[in-house]
């Protein structure tokens, strides 16, 4: 390591004035250098502003907090702004959480299932940002009555070309228009049809949908009834949504001309059965096979018929196909075998031989039309619950609760205020039916 030499300079005397000025300048630069360097790195030399505090998260409830008389199927949600949900729930009075989903940003929570009637629900949870508790309530409407309904057809059923769609309600309905707006029928291919409200002997309400003409064979039919949460009038609401899908089968139409003493079963390919038969004797009104389009509604391989007015009770008959609720059947009756094909002797039913009745029985399905002609009394509302085809189309659409101005007004004769649509003593769908109806039978 080389030796170090120390040089002492007497600045007071050893430097010229110019040199001293340079030294002072250099010193000054050295003193200012830290500030100059700071300036190069963007420093201002002033104290920086303090960061603003986060905004408080705000909540928006839909419906609003403390809302009352909420319809249970309206959209229900809560939204947070300037924050996000850490957790959130809507619970009923029993503490059970209602199903719901958060959006991707966790800023909106939406309920994904209908609420119940007459229930107070409570919001809970927390939102972060500047933390805020999720607190709120809503109360759903309290109905004076909850009205239920049902279809007469089963989902997936295959029916005949004249089958109506029937919705039976378990209580009267004052706002039929609102209910009818909630009923939607779609068909493939498209088919013209309409709803009509029929008198209901069950002290409830019922509405039928009928096509203008028979369905085309193979038609697909779907029914949607959005009734839950729907106001039925007078404080009543619908109990449930309903849906139905069914198919129209082959086109089978029974031609029954009374004076011919024969019955023909036809399909698109032509007549597939042509049998001798006997119709109502017509000596009394109760013994007249009714004129008009009947609809097959049920069938029994064994059936016990009773008609006290005609003098018989609990008579065993085979292969019985019901075509109206006034006691009219197409069935086997060996006792009238001598009259079949030449004389009408029955109490209103259409009698066939046992083998012919069995053959027809095997072909018949719900909704098949049976067109009776040549009789003296027309089928009407007093003959059972499916008298849909007994009125003309203009009258039918006039029975809607939503008749356009262009539709014809219904005839008061065709549309009674009340009617025994199904006689109280008519056969039922369960057990072994026994009829004691005073109308046609046998």
Q: Which residues contact 273 (CB under 8 A, 6 or more apart)?
A: 263, 264, 265, 356, 359, 360, 363
Identify whether 40 is a catalytic site residue. no
Contact 253, 371 (CB under 8 A): yes
Q: Nearest-CA neighbor of 343 among 260, 442, 254?
A: 260
The one catalytic residue in 208, 277, 294, 331 is: 331
Measured CA to CA, the distance from residue 168 to residue 149 in angstroms comes to 5
Backbone dihedral region of 341: left (phi > 0), alpha (psi from -120 to 50 degrees) or beta?
left
What is the Cα–Cα distance from 77 to 83, expressed in whole angstroms?
A: 16
What CA–CA distance (Å, rounded) separates 123 from 77? 10
Per annotation, catalytic residue among 208, 277, 294, 349: 349
Count of C-beta atoms within a 10 Å radius of residue 181: 14
Lookup result for tokens 């498209």: 190
CA distances from 256 to 264, 334, 374, 383 (A): 7, 20, 9, 18
Tokens of 427: 């056969």
* Cβ atoms of 295 and 164 closer than 8 Å: yes
CA angle 414, 330, 427 (to 5 degrees): 70
User: How far is it, in rounded angstroms, from Cα 281 to Cα 276?
Assistant: 15
Specify which residues 89 forms β-bridges with: 124
- Return d(Cα 278, Cα 336) in angstroms, integer: 7
Contact residues for 172 (Cβ-Cβ < 8 A; gap 6+):
203, 204, 205
- Longest alpha-carbon distance in the chain: 162
- Give the Cα separation of 87 and 110 in Å (integer): 13
Q: Which of 249, 242, 248 is nearest to 151 (CA)?
A: 242
Residue 182 near residue 195, CB atoms below 8 Å: no
Give the C-alpha separation, 122 to 61, whole Å: 11
Q: Is 349 a catalytic residue?
A: yes
Angle, CA 234 vertex, CA 231 and CA 236 arms, to 5°: 45
Catalytic amino acids? 331, 349
């Amino acid at each position: 390591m080389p030796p170090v030499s120390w040089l002492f300079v007497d600045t007071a005397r050893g430097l010229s004035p110019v040199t001293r000025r340079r030294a002072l300048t250099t010193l000054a630069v050295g003193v200012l250098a830290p500030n100059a360097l700071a300036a190069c790195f963007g420093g201002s030399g002033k104290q920086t502003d303090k960061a603003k505090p986060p905004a408080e998260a705000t909540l928006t409830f839909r419906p609003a907090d403390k809302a009352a008389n909420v319809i249970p199927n309206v959209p229900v949600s809560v939204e947070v702004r300037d924050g996000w949900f850490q957790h959130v729930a809507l619970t009923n009075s029993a503490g059970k959480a209602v199903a719901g989903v958060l959006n991707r940003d966790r800023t909106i929570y939406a309920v994904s299932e209908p609420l119940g009637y007459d229930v107070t629900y409570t919001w809970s949870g927390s939102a972060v940002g500047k933390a805020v508790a999720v607190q709120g309530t809503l109360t759903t409407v309290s109905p004076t009555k909850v009205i239920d309904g049902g279809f007469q057809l089963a989902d997936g059923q295959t029916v005949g070309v004249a089958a109506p769609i029937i919705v039976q309600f378990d209580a009267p309905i004052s706002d039929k228009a609102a209910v009818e707006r909630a009923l939607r029928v779609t068909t493939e291919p498209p088919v013209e049809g309409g709803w009509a409200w029929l008198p209901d002997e069950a002290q409830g309400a019922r509405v039928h949908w009928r096509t203008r003409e028979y369905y085309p064979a193979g038609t697909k039919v779907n029914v949607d009834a959005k009734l839950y949460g729907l106001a039925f009038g007078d404080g009543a609401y619908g109990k449930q949504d309903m849906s139905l899908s069914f198919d129209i089968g082959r086109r089978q139409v029974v031609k029954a001309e009374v004076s011919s003493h024969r019955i023909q079963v036809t399909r698109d390919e032509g007549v597939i059965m042509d049998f001798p038969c006997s119709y109502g004797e017509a000596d009394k009104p109760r013994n007249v096979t009714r004129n008009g389009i009947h609809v097959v509604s049920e069938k029994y391989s064994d059936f016990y018929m009773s008609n006290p007015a005609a003098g018989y009770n609990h008579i065993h008959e085979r292969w019985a196909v019901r075509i109206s609720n006034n006691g009219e059947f197409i069935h086997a009756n060996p006792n009238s075998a001598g009259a079949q094909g030449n004389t009408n002797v029955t109490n209103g039913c259409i009698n066939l031989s046992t083998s012919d009745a069995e053959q027809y029985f095997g072909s018949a399905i719900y909704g098949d039309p049976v067109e009776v002609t040549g009789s003296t009394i027309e089928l009407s509302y007093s003959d059972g619950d499916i008298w849909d085809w007994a009125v003309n189309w203009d009258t039918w659409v006039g029975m809607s609760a939503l008749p356009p101005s262009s539709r014809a007004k219904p005839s008061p004769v065709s549309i009674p205020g009340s009617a025994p649509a199904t006689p109280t003593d008519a056969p039922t769908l369960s057990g072994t039916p026994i009829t004691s109806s005073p109308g046609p039978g046998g």
